[in-house]
Amino acid sequence: MADDAHAARATAGGPKGAPSNTSAGGAKAAPSHSNIASGSLTERRFLAEGSERSNVQALIGGVGAAALGAGTYATWVHDTPMSFAPYLFGVGTLAVIIAAVMSSSDTMPLRVGAAGVAIERGGAQPERIAWYEIEKVGVEANDRVVVEGAKKRIVAPISHHAAAAAWILKEALERIPKRVTTPLDQLTPLLRAADDHAEVVPVEPMQLAGRRCKASDVIISFERDARACTRCGEVYDKKHTPEKCLTCEAPMAST
């Protein structure tokens, strides 16, 4: 019995069985516009990895909560309010604030894939920077990968997000290599963390109507008039679609 259950689990649990179409990073050269419309886009979702700092953070948060609780007890529950209660409140509040600040953006889930780089800050939608919007991507202070563009900034600390940082660099090198600011030889050791352990999730097709054609600057009124670059997400009016994407130089299929 026990052996049967074990065997069943072993066969069911193997993610290696399915052929991995997604591992190429979606940067296939052609055809250019069909994928985006079909809604089959995916991205990888990365949860922050545990580290010493998150343990320290949990400890500080826990001590803070305990101090707040004790402060509350000493002030409100105890018959005669104790003179040290305000200090407990002070210490507790400070510790809770420190824990909150430490959690900041370092440990938020990150996404990397067809639609660009995104961070889940807790809102309804992840905050996203599309590949074509990215002005620069590179390593800062040897410990984080930073993506900047469209007045947004997404940071992948290597201590918590080694795999996400590696995938950001890997896909950026394939899609928008000219905007990668760090020399390749410095990226090589970081790229080794680009494994296939992350969850692959579908990503909503980008809305194309209402955006400006990169070549002609006209506003695209209808989805059917739009041609999007699958490598970087840049969009063109079908009458003005260049042979190569102006942003990333990927070949655009002519129609």
Contacts to Zn ion by CB under 5 A: 229, 231-232, 234, 245, 247-248, 250
Give the three-state DSSP class for 22.
helix
Q: Would you state the structure tokens that stand for residue 200, as one six-digit string?
A: 């692959």
Q: Would you state the structure tokens that stand for residue 25, as one six-digit string?
A: 């990073």
Beta carbon of residue 171, minimum distance to Zn ion (angstroms, whole number):
13
**Whose Cβ is closer to Zn ion: residue 144's or residue 242's?**
242
Beta carbon of residue 139, minimum distance to Zn ion (angstroms, whole number):
23
**Whose Cβ is closer to Zn ion: residue 131's or residue 167's?**
131
For the chain, strand residue ranges (E) read 42-46, 110-113, 116-119, 127-129, 134-140, 144-149, 152-157, 199-202, 226-228, 235-237
**Whose Cβ is closer to Zn ion: residue 198's or residue 229's?**
229
Beta carbon of residue 197, minimum distance to Zn ion (angstroms, whole number):
28
**Whose Cβ is closer to Zn ion: residue 158's or residue 245's?**
245
CA 171/CA 223 separation, integer angstroms: 26
Q: Left, alpha or beta for 26 (phi > 0: left; psi -120 to 50: alpha)? A: left
Beta carbon of residue 136, minimum distance to Zn ion (angstroms, whole number):
16
